[in-house]
Structure 1
């Protein structure tokens, strides 16, 4: 039996660091201004660690690469911090191609070991439309910034997951699963805007009890297929749910949002965004009241 990584109940997300808010453009701009420098991001991560939130579920944004450098430079200060990388970060690739051209962008993202071989392998894969060859190349390029750090779960972003769902390229999910497990000793996770359909596809290709992150909240906010379909999946399907958009981008207050999750959704983890000590501490306090003191433990 494969070893299972036990995820913490609370995971700190990174949308707020990069000005992403699905409800308010004004709030998104304010957050982007607040987190213009890497130190401001690191400050929030340090507060989260002090409050017992030990996992950062993050994109592979260039600023996260800077955070990774900070953590490597001072391992004792950030002892216990884990990263759950979510890949790919599409804007990063688009910007790099614009600035450096296709070949230059590829060189900048490839891992240091066997880079030339990876280019050749990737080129052949494009020509042959060989999904199995492209998926490892993508993962290795994205994981370059996390070298030497704890990455027990690696997620495939919804921008790719849902595209593959639409195209019917289910084998890509299996290729991602295999490479994450064999190369990195990590568990694969999948982020989606269509939870019921993804569970059907993963089940069909033999990926059992998968880690799946989806929007789960009392409003049905950004839950493709509807709230009832999600509730059926959460009660009837075998998988490891990670809930995001629990607060519906601020439309639901933290206490009623988390109370609804506790009462209606069998979730293993909750991803939440926070910009201050007070919001992190408040979320941790409510979660401890609902799920017990082990929700967030200070090392």
Structure 2
């Protein structure tokens, strides 16, 4: 993986410290052209990997990439699925089975009628595959060498003790898409332990890693230990702790962590993208 990965939180108004800044970003990036300007600025400074949630407007970005292959041939896209709001809205509108039917193109209710819940449980892995395919449709023709499970799913499955899903997910994205599985989590120590136990070698795990322990479940020491064991390909997110840290002190910390292969960040101005990118490059030498 590239050392620097560009994220997309800013494109749909995520700001952990300021509701006003969040509103401004959301308004600005309603125009897909504004998103493309920022991606072009990231490309200009040397970034080549874009990690994004599978919300509908990313499909427009993929369309633009496919329409301009010479310009975007060296871009890699790391999809992160599912986009939870999309499914939550569908469940509100259609109910659970109706939402599954919409996204899988199947008929889950028919399974209940014919064989009851046991049939649906037996076919749960097949439903997972259909949902992955539904999410991946927009990325056809792009370079998606790592496909991530969002933390809302990773952490839910760990909490329910349904770790077997991770193996099925890993096998499916490898066989169907030639991709490596990635896992986003808010609990790096537990995720590392569970994935190792399943036999997933050097799992790619994206988690909050920063100097002050912001959103680092288990605390700084436990997270550093999970990385130091040397069996994780770590991606550090929220390195700036939502703006609580200055860029240089933030990047000095994550760039010095053994086991951190890549650093994920998002920014909406050329100057901030350039500053962060060059800081990471400097501190990674």
Provide the TM-score with structure 1 as the length reference.
Answer: 0.87
Moved more, 239-248 or 201-210: 201-210
Residues 123/41 of structure 1: CA separation in 2 closer, same or farther (3 Å cut): farther
2:4: which partner in 1?
10
Deviates more, 1:97-106 or 1:182-191: 97-106
Which piece of structure 1 moves more, 228-237 or 213-222? 228-237
CA distance in 1, matches of 2:46, 2:32: 21
2:45 is equivalent to residue 51 of structure 1: yes
d(CA) in 2 for partners of 1:20, 1:275: 12
- For residues 120 and 80 of structure 2, what CA distance do their matches in structure 1 show? 27
Q: How far did residue 212 of structure 1 move?
A: 0.4
CA distance in 1 between partners of 2:152 and 2:192 (Å): 16
Tell me which residue corresponds to 2:233: 240
Asked whether the 8 Å contact 2:77–2:144 carries over to 1, the reply is yes
Alignment match, 1:186: 179
Cα-Cα RMSD: 2.0
Structure 2 match to 1:23: 17
The answer as to 2:74 corresponding to 1:80 is yes
**Given the superposition, is the C-alpha separation of residues 197 and 181 from structure 1 closer, same or farther in structure 2, using an over 3 Å criterion?**
same
Structure 2 Cα separation of the partners of residues 197 and 237 of structure 1: 15
Report the CA distance between 1:34 and its aligned residue.
1.7
Structure 1: gaps spanning 5 or more residues: 1-6, 293-299
Partner Cα distance (2:245, 2:58) in 1: 28
Report how far residue 228 of structure 1 moved. 0.7
Q: How many residues align?
A: 279
* Greater Cα offset, 25-34 or 208-217: 25-34
Q: In the alignment, does 2:210 pair up with 1:224? A: no
Question: Greater relative contact order: 1 or 2 (C-alpha under 8 angstroms, separation 6 or more)?
Answer: 1
Match for residue 28 of structure 2 among 25, 29, 34: 34
Give the direction of change, closer, same or farther, for the CA distance of 1:265–1:19 in structure 2 (3 Å limit): farther
- Where does structure 2 lack aligned partners over 5 or more consecutive residues? none
The correspondence for 1:128, drawn from 116, 120, 142, is 120
Q: 8 Å contact 2:186–2:208 — kept in the other structure?
A: yes
Query: Residues of 2 paired with 1:265 and 1:215: CA distance?
Result: 15
How does 1:183-222 map onto structure 2 within 5 Å? Answer: 183-222=176-215
